[in-house]
Amino acid sequence: MPRTKKEIKEKKVKTTKKIKVNKTPKDGVGKTRVRQASQAAEQTSPLLVKSAGEKKRPSARQASKRSPLKVEKKKEGLEKTVADQKEKEEVKEKGIKEKSFIKEKSFIKEKSYFEAVGRRKNAIARVRLAPGEGNLIVNDLSGWDYFKDQLLARQILNKPFLILGRKDSFNTIVKVGGGGKTAQMGAVAHAIARALEKFNPDFRKTLKKEGLLTRDSRMKESKKYGLLGARAKKPSPKR
């Protein structure tokens, strides 16, 4: 054991020198050596080295996910959904066919009569035409009682039937309003022609030639200010 002061100082210097030698230099060369050594140890360690034939064991979650029971269940679910979709499509197609068939039936039932609208000047007539004995009802009255000028009424109203050779073969029910009696007659004739076209589209050519399907666009001309009427002028006072 050193007892003098010189011996104690010499011992301290020796220990400091040893510590400096053990320390790594500041250049960073020691650090790289340490890393290389650690990597080599890892590679050569028997615990970390794995055989080529070994495979990673799946975790519990992965094993549960990849279980054959679950895969089969998924396949069954997909097959069921596909089958359900096919059934729904078939039901829809059947429903559409049934609906169309019902509509056709109802259409056939409703077509025991044919409706049409006719116009002339300010008069509007709604006609319902059905096969019958040639009866005419206008506003809940007999047609020949409603129109006072019977000759003119018979001429105008019977014209569509006479052209087609179908006189006294249809019953007509009319609701008419607006305008005067002659305008109402023209509106009724226009509506009858349209209803006959609906009854049989082959009648269109003959009715079109006679001009019964076209709406008569002639209207009363309005009165002008400063005049007696649409065209009539006042007589000049300087005479």
Per residue in 177-236, pLDDT (tens digit) is 999 999 999 999 999 999 999 999 999 999 999 999 999 999 999 999 999 999 999 998
**Max intra-chain CA distance, the chain:** 169
Q: Over 90: is that where the pLDDT of 116 sits?
A: yes
> Between 53 and 75, whose confidence is greater?
75
The class of domain 114-209 in CATH terms is: alpha beta
Q: Over 50: is that where the pLDDT of 105 sits?
A: no
Q: Over 80: is that where the pLDDT of 94 sits?
A: no
Q: Which pLDDT does position 54 carry in this prediction?
A: 52
Q: Which pLDDT does position 173 carry in this prediction?
A: 95
Q: Over 70: is that where the pLDDT of 45 sits?
A: no
Phi, psi dihedral angles at 47 (to 5 degrees)? -70, -40
Where does the pLDDT of residue 61 fall: very low under 50, low under 70, confident under 90, or very high at 90 and above? low
- Distance CA(197)–CA(207), nearest Å, equals 8
Where does the pLDDT of residue 65 fall: very low under 50, low under 70, confident under 90, or very high at 90 and above? low
**Intra-chain end-to-end CA distance of the chain, in Å:** 168
Residues 158 and 210 sit within 8 Å (Cβ to Cβ):
no
Q: Over 60: is that where the pLDDT of 44 sits?
A: no
Q: Which pLDDT does position 121 carry in this prediction?
A: 95
Q: Which pLDDT does position 21 carry in this prediction?
A: 46
In the chain, what are the domain boundaries? 69-110, 114-209
Task: Work out the number of other CB atoms within 10 angstroms of the CB of residue 222.
Answer: 7
DSSP 192-231: HHHHHHHH-GGGHHHHHHTT-SS-B---PPPPPTTSSSSS
- Distance CA(23)–CA(184), nearest Å, equals 124
Task: Work out the number of other CB atoms within 10 angstroms of the CB of residue 181.
Answer: 14
Would you say the pTM of this structure is higher than 0.75? no
- Distance CA(113)–CA(168), nearest Å, equals 16
Amino acid sitting at position 20: K
- Distance CA(31)–CA(43), nearest Å, equals 19
Residue 122 burial (C-beta neighbours within 10 Å; 0-12, 13-18, 19+): middle
- Distance CA(55)–CA(31), nearest Å, equals 35
